[in-house]
Amino acid sequence: MRRLPIALALLALGGCGDEEPAATPTVEPPVSACTEIGCSDGVYVELSDVPRDADVTLCVDGRCRPARAGTPGLGQVDAPLGRAAGDAVRVAITVRRGGRTIARASERLEVRTERPNGPGCPPVCRMVTARFDMASESLQG
């Protein structure tokens, strides 16, 4: 009868080295926090060589917004971009002086999506950026 307890002890000890090794812990990449940079949906047009006493009007898909005449250093005009806007919008700019149109341009420009805080972080903004050159009356996105 002494053999049975010895056999059971040997059997129990025999299985000690056969266990699967502990799983290697996986290292997750560090989660980067989102910054809090904001943005707005809009159309932004940089101006070049527009006279100080000129009136500038920016239109986006037929909705127009005047800029103030005589603004010192008027270097950019902007207008909101409606949520209903598609992948491209018609942007038109008109420059008047003394009630007379002295330059104008119109182009269909692509709307692009921006995530200023990086992928996966809010906000997601839609915008159009362009440059208007007064001398050549060109509007380029």
Does domain 37-140 fall under CATH 1.10.10? My reply is: no
Give the residue among 129, 131, 53 at the shortest CA–CA distance from 95.
53
Distance CA 32, CA 136 (A): 46
Locate 96 and state its tokens. Answer: 């008047």
pLDDT tens per residue, range 64-111: 999 765 555 678 899 998 777 789 999 999 999 999 999 999 999 999
- Output the furthest CA–CA distance in the chain (Å, rounded): 119
**C-beta neighbour count of 138 within 10 angstroms:** 14
Q: Is the pTM of this model over 0.75?
A: no
> Residue 102: enclosing H or E segment and its boundaries?
strand 100-110
